[in-house]
Structure 1
Amino acid sequence: MESNLESNLESNLESNLESNLESNLESSLESNLESNHDYNLESNL
């Protein structure tokens, strides 16, 4: 039987992973959008 500690650790790990993935995706997307925007502005000059 899984102890509470193991169960909590597993749950926290999953939650943190999910949260980190979401956060990383969001910041990558924002960064890429900004880069693309800057690039497009420059290439239109």
Structure 2
Amino acid sequence: MLGIDDPQIWIAYVLCFVSAIGCIIYGALKWNDGSDDGEVE
């Protein structure tokens, strides 16, 4: 399939995409959460 025969390569690709989607969802949920922990006064 698509010239990639090794299942370990497929697992790596799938985990990369799942990780990227998870980061996007986490960022969208925490975008404006109202915490001011990182501000410098």
TM over 0.5: yes
SS at match of 2:30: helix
Answer 1 or 2: higher relative contact order, Cα 8 Å, separation at least 6.
2
Give the CA RMSD over aligned residues.
Answer: 1.6
**Structure-2-length-normalised TM-score:** 0.62
Matched residue, 2:25: 22
The 5-angstrom pairing of residues 1-45 of structure 1 reads 1-2=3-4, 3-30=6-33, 34=34
Could you tell me which runs of 5 or more consecutive residues in structure 1 were left unpaired when the two chains were aligned.
Answer: 36-45
Matched positions, count: 32
Could you tell me which runs of 5 or more consecutive residues in structure 2 were left unpaired when the two chains were aligned.
Answer: 36-41
Q: Which runs of 4+ in 1 moved over 3 A?
A: none
Identity over aligned pairs, percent: 3
| Larger proportion of helix | 1
